[in-house]
Chain A
Amino acid sequence: MNRIPITLLVNGEPYSLAVPPNKTLLEVLRDDLELMGTREGCGVGACGACTVLIDGVPARSCLTLAVDVQGLSITTIEGLAEGDELHPVQEAFVERHAIQCGYCSSGMILTAKALLDKKKRPTKDEIKRAISGNICRCTGYAKIEDAIATAAKKLATPSK
């Protein structure tokens, strides 16, 4: 199949690639860019493990054509930490035990980050709602919700 030359802006870095149009963003991230933190759980958009941020908005990378997001800003889990320093949302997930098997974590963390970018102090219901499209089989969500609330507090206090 013919390949289409595109430039993807992933975690602030431009990547020039030639991709077949039927390749999903998930496939390009994993196969071509080797960003393995974006995970496939179901392939049909039902679980959220493959969530990335497209222009800051959580989206299913398994249901996004790579050729469709050319020029848009894509954030994957690898793009959150700055060097060794985890992003406050990641930090909160670690501290509050919001991670067990870890397979949903990338998608959860990115979804949480997008929520907190939009809403500084989300209510418990808003947190629940925001992650209601992301399945976690391990935690029962309690510690994830707790971590998001904790992250909100962290982000509200000016960094040390």
Chain B
Amino acid sequence: MTEASLIGKSMVRSDTVAKAAGQALYTADLKLPRMLVGKVLRSPHPHARILNIDTSRAERLRGVKAVITGRDGHGVKWGVFPYTQDHDMVPTDKVRYIGEEVAAVAAVDEETALEALSLIDVEYEPLPAVFTIEEALKEGAPLVHDQYKNNINVHVHIEVGDTQKAFKEADIVLEDTFEAAGEMYGMLEPYAVVAHYTPDGYLDIWMPNAGPHVRAKALSNLLKMPLNKIRVHHINSGGAFGGRSEISPGDFVTSLLAIKSGRPVKLVYTREETSIATRQVHDIVARIKTGARKDGTIIAKEFKVYYNGGAYSSTGPIATSIPFYVYEETYRLPNLVYDGYRILTNRPIRGMYRCHGRAFLAGNAMHMDKIAEELGMDPMDIRLKNGIRAGETTATGSKIISCGLQDAIKAAARKSGWKKKRGKLPPYRGIGMGCLAIMCGFPMGFRSGSSAYIRVNEDGDATIVSGVVDNGQGNESMMVQIAAHILGIPMDSVNLVCSDTEVTTHDPGAYSQAAAFVTGNAVRLAAEDARDKILTAAAQYMKVDKTRLALKDKMVYLKDDPEKAIKLTRAVRYAMSKGQHIQGYGTYIPKISFDREWVKNPYGQMAGTFSYGTSIAELEVDPETGIVRLLRMVVAHDCGNPINPMAVEGQLEGSVAMGGTATILEEHVWDGGLQLNSDFLEYKMPLSVDMPDIDTILVRSMDPEGPFGAKEGGLTISMSAYKAIANAFYDATGVWLKEFPYTPDRVLKALQAKEKGRR
């Protein structure tokens, strides 16, 4: 018998049989006795003062059980940070975007609820509105919130080294502006909430979310209820991609309706509501100045990046910073000035997104290729040269403890035929490269850690209790696999109880790439603790030294004499008979700087570790129509050590769609504050027939801290795919296209501009 090993094996995910059978429940599937239907009245104005709301006619309608407005709340404003508390979940003073919550009803059925909405009379005084970054920053522009002068919501300023001096010493200096329209999260599951309030003061609530504990805390603040009376329950989530990390007004509204009516209430958003009234993605304008030496070393960077944040702060300070950090975690940047501005406008609220920052990141990638071209360097070599390595420290002070960037670059290049293709493909065909890092966990102060319990039952099966959240990535299954591996039992012998705030332990949630590294470590430690207790009991029972024992196939055996073994159940029962129940506990908090703050002190250790990735895109441009066709993507990602390789591949492939194909297709289109494509027909999420061939490569850097060497699995590809496409487009056409997405009209305009320039 050899040591059991499930790690590194492509195992069937623990959650997918129920999903395949159609038996997995999502929020909208829940039914409770006497449940009411909730509906929300939304603002038709992008910016207006609310003069009066009269709900009396709606209240009188038969079948209506509760009507709420902002006056039913406690006047508490939500904000992720103390200095961003500006979001009245149902405002009473003014509305700030089309689609904002104004009132809500709960009624016996959908028809009645909709009719009741039409009976609510709201008097508005429309106010002048601002929609774009430019409009919002204009002198004398209307203010979205009085407290944010010039509509500047967040300003992140980071300075390292002596940038002015470095630019003077640079042999090449480039300066360009890059722009990108915002995208749609497009999780397939429309947002939904079910809430039930009982007379003893408990609120039970279900909604797709990426962090039940932070949800509960937000609700506790807003509803002025003790934290342990808010029970956010586990439910399957039909995708998140960063859009379900924060409390949503829907949670608040449904809770108020449930409290007021005394009955369970279900609120299911339409697709349009999901699109406009949950979260959207920032539009970005990025001015980038780069200085490099003749040998290709980047020595200076100056960034001015503007993010259109919509009407409220949301995760503003984080969103304004992340594109910068993932970049500084990738390359050595000795001298830099970063100014990130999040600008408020009368558009829906923008949040963090899986592929956040495409104008900024692709812009930097284009600069790197431009420099390589001027110096006659291979774009691959300039990346190898400037790429950060293990043991180094990033510009703002994060130590890199493992780094597979060099390997990822080389592996992707080899697989894609880079040397044979770059600069050598026929006209209008091109290949390009982009690299990126990602932090495994955001600094979240005391919330940065995770803990877990594991109990081993008398039948040898185990139950994990963890705060882990799964929005589809496979996080739940990953925890089961880790525990099963350590306990030497099959995955289907492990039950997972998770993301239920009154039952499960704390966890940072699934929106900061922390699940493998942080939660995985907590579960690993809990399983090791349980294993230790099993081995202790078995050692007593077998009268051997504990260090000689190991677990496999539900047996405890002697490593040096595998024939000598007892059943796991025997060991567990023996322990129980001694009053020593097998319960393991593990807790893990990454080694991060606690005095780091997104705005006030953006220096210090950002995360415990970082993942690395490289995307290589090969594409074809139709010079007559401007249509770009993505032919192939080769993506290599260093996830430390893949716990479930096929699950990691799935993350990479999904990233190719969301970060890659999306670069050609995806953008929200607007008429002022009105979104013209909130649906799945006119918003262009990639279809099967739009996808390129994909080659995935898993790079193993064996992180010294990660569980079994593992780190986050896949996000670097989401955020580097568009870099690769921008550079491949140049290789195909000789045009640096600085505006995203690469829709055919933009492409054609750019090709024509080049033609004109040539004549």
Q: Point out residues on A near B: beta carbons under 8 Å.
A: 30, 34-44, 46-47, 49, 76-78, 80-81, 86, 90-91, 93-97, 99-106, 109, 127-129, 131-145
Chain A residues, Cβ within 8 Å of B689: 128-129, 132
CB contact under 8 A between A44 and B188, given known A94-B17, A132-B689, A140-B654: no
Q: Does B16 contact A (CB under 8 A)?
A: yes
Q: Do A101 and B680 touch (CB < 8 A)? A: no
Q: Do A139 and B271 touch (CB < 8 A)? A: no
Q: Do A42 and B653 touch (CB < 8 A)? A: no
Q: In whole Å, how far is B517's beta carbon from the nearest beta carbon of chain A?
A: 20
Contact residue range for chain B? 35 or more
Q: Do B15 and A142 touch (CB < 8 A)? A: no
* Interface pick from B19-27, B127-135, B218-226, B621-629: B19-27
Chain A residues, Cβ within 8 Å of B685: 135, 137
Q: Do B15 and A139 touch (CB < 8 A)? A: no
Q: In the bound complex, how far is the Cα of B15 from the Cα of A119, in angstroms?
A: 30
Q: Do A101 and B22 touch (CB < 8 A)? A: no
11 A-B contact pairs sorted by A residue (CB < 8 Å): A42-B271, A44-B271, A47-B680, A86-B17, A90-B20, A93-B20, A101-B187, A101-B189, A102-B238, A129-B689, A133-B687
Chain B residues, Cβ within 8 Å of A41: 188-190, 271, 680
Q: Do B680 and A97 touch (CB < 8 A)? A: no
Chain A residues, Cβ within 8 Å of B188: 39, 41, 47, 49, 101, 103-104, 135-137
Q: In the bound complex, how far is the Cα of B28 from the Cα of A104, in angstroms?
A: 14
Q: Does B177 contact A (CB under 8 A)?
A: no
* Interface pick from B469-477, B538-546, B739-747: B469-477
Chain A residues, Cβ within 8 Å of B440: none
Q: Do B238 and A76 touch (CB < 8 A)? A: no
Q: Which of chain A's residues has its CB closest to B657's CB?
A: A140
Q: Do B21 and A101 touch (CB < 8 A)? A: no
From A77, A91, A97, give the contact of B10 (CB < 8 A).
A97
Q: Does B639 contact A (CB under 8 A)?
A: no
Q: In whole Å, how far is B669's beta carbon from the nearest beta carbon of chain A?
A: 16
Q: In the bound complex, how far is the Cα of B690 from the Cα of A129, in angstroms?
A: 10
Chain B residues, Cβ within 8 Å of A100: 239, 472-474, 650, 654
Q: Do B22 and A37 touch (CB < 8 A)? A: yes
Chain A residues, Cβ within 8 Å of B694: 140, 142
Q: In whole Å, how far is B43's beta carbon from the nearest beta carbon of chain A?
A: 22
Q: Does B147 contact A (CB under 8 A)?
A: no
Chain A residues, Cβ within 8 Å of B153: none
Q: Do A137 and B653 touch (CB < 8 A)? A: no
Within 8 A of A (CB), among B1-56: 10, 12-13, 15-17, 19-26, 28-29, 31
Known: A99-B20, A141-B691. 11 other contacts (CB 8 A): A36-B22, A43-B270, A77-B22, A78-B21, A78-B22, A102-B16, A103-B239, A109-B20, A134-B688, A135-B685, A141-B687
Q: In the bound complex, how far is the Cα of B188 from the Cα of A42, in angstroms?
A: 8
What are the 5 tightest A-B residue pairs by CB atom distance, in nearest-first order? Answer: A37-B22, A101-B472, A77-B22, A102-B19, A103-B238
Q: In whole Å, how far is B333's beta carbon from the nearest beta carbon of chain A?
A: 31
Q: Which of A43, A95, A133, A138 has the most CB of B within 10 A?
A: A138
Chain A residues, Cβ within 8 Å of B22: 35-38, 76-78, 105-106
Q: In the bound complex, how far is the Cα of B13 from the Cα of A135, in angstroms?
A: 21
Chain B residues, Cβ within 8 Å of A49: 188
Q: In the bound complex, how far is the Cα of B26 from the Cα of A38, in angstroms?
A: 11
Q: Do B681 and A46 touch (CB < 8 A)? A: yes
Q: Does B512 contact A (CB under 8 A)?
A: no
Chain B residues, Cβ within 8 Å of A137: 186-188, 239, 241, 654, 657-658, 685
Chain A residues, Cβ within 8 Å of B19: 99, 102, 105
Within 8 A of A (CB), among B108-136: none
Main secondary structure of the interface of B (DSSP, over half): loop
Q: In the bound complex, how far is the Cα of B680 from the Cα of A76, in angstroms?
A: 23
Chain A residues, Cβ within 8 Å of B28: 39-40
Q: Do B656 and A140 touch (CB < 8 A)? A: yes
Q: In whole Å, how far is B513's beta carbon from the nearest beta carbon of chain A?
A: 16
Q: In the bound complex, how far is the Cα of B188 from the Cα of A47, in angstroms?
A: 8
Q: Does B255 contact A (CB under 8 A)?
A: no
Q: In whole Å, how far is A97's beta carbon from the nearest beta carbon of chain B?
A: 4
Q: In whole Å, how far is A19's beta carbon from the nearest beta carbon of chain B?
A: 14
Q: Does B528 contact A (CB under 8 A)?
A: no
Q: In whole Å, how far is B509's beta carbon from the nearest beta carbon of chain A?
A: 16
Q: Does B322 contact A (CB under 8 A)?
A: no
Q: In the bound complex, how far is the Cα of B687 from the Cα of A131, in angstroms?
A: 8
Q: In the bound complex, how far is the Cα of B694 from the Cα of A44, in angstroms?
A: 31
Q: Do B189 and A97 touch (CB < 8 A)? A: no
Within 8 A of A (CB), among B184-199: 186-190
Q: In whole Å, how far is B77's beta carbon from the nearest beta carbon of chain A?
A: 32
Q: In the bound complex, how far is the Cα of B16 from the Cα of A106, in angstroms?
A: 12
Q: Which of chain B's residues has its CB closest to A95's CB?
A: B12
Q: In the bound complex, how far is the Cα of B585 from the Cα of A20, in angstroms?
A: 55
Q: Do B16 and A37 touch (CB < 8 A)? A: no
Chain A residues, Cβ within 8 Å of B21: 37, 77-78, 80-81, 86, 90
Chain B residues, Cβ within 8 Å of A78: 21-23
Q: In whole Å, how far is A91's beta carbon from the nearest beta carbon of chain B?
A: 8
Q: In the bound complex, how far is the Cα of B6 from the Cα of A65, in angstroms?
A: 49
- Contact code string B222-248 (vs A, CB < 8 Å = 1, else 0): 000000000000001111010000000
- Contact code string B658-669 (vs A, CB < 8 Å = 1, else 0): 100100000000
Chain A residues, Cβ within 8 Å of B647: 97
Chain A residues, Cβ within 8 Å of B649: 97, 143
Q: In whole Å, how far is B316's beta carbon from the nearest beta carbon of chain A?
A: 25
Q: Does B750 contact A (CB under 8 A)?
A: no
Q: In whole Å, how far is A89's beta carbon from the nearest beta carbon of chain B?
A: 9
Q: Which of chain A's residues has its CB closest to B693's CB?
A: A142
Q: In whole Å, how far is A52's beta carbon from the nearest beta carbon of chain B?
A: 11
Q: In the bound complex, how far is the Cα of B22 from the Cα of A13, in angstroms?
A: 17
Q: Which of chain B's residues has its CB closest to A37's CB?
A: B22
Q: Which of chain B's residues has its CB closest to A131's CB?
A: B688
Q: In whole Å, how far is B492's beta carbon from the nearest beta carbon of chain A?
A: 12
Q: Do B17 and A140 touch (CB < 8 A)? A: no
Q: In the bound complex, how far is the Cα of B187 from the Cα of A44, in angstroms?
A: 16
Q: Which of A34, A81, A141 has the most CB of B within 10 A?
A: A141
Q: In the bound complex, how far is the Cα of B277 from the Cα of A131, in angstroms?
A: 29
Q: Do B653 and A139 touch (CB < 8 A)? A: yes
Q: In the bound complex, how far is the Cα of B690 from the Cα of A128, in angstroms?
A: 9
Q: In whole Å, how far is A123's beta carbon from the nearest beta carbon of chain B?
A: 13
Q: Do A43 and B271 touch (CB < 8 A)? A: yes
Chain B residues, Cβ within 8 Å of A80: 21
Q: In whole Å, how far is A157's beta carbon from the nearest beta carbon of chain B?
A: 20
Q: In the bound complex, how far is the Cα of B273 from the Cα of A42, in angstroms?
A: 11
Chain B residues, Cβ within 8 Å of A102: 15-16, 19-20, 24, 236, 238, 472
Q: Do A40 and B472 touch (CB < 8 A)? A: no
Q: Does B679 contact A (CB under 8 A)?
A: yes
Q: Do B654 and A138 touch (CB < 8 A)? A: yes
Chain A residues, Cβ within 8 Å of B466: none
Within 8 A of A (CB), among B155-205: 186-190
Within 8 A of A (CB), among B635-662: 646-647, 649-650, 653-658, 661
Q: Which of chain A's residues has its CB closest to B21's CB?
A: A81
Chain A residues, Cβ within 8 Å of B13: 94, 97, 99
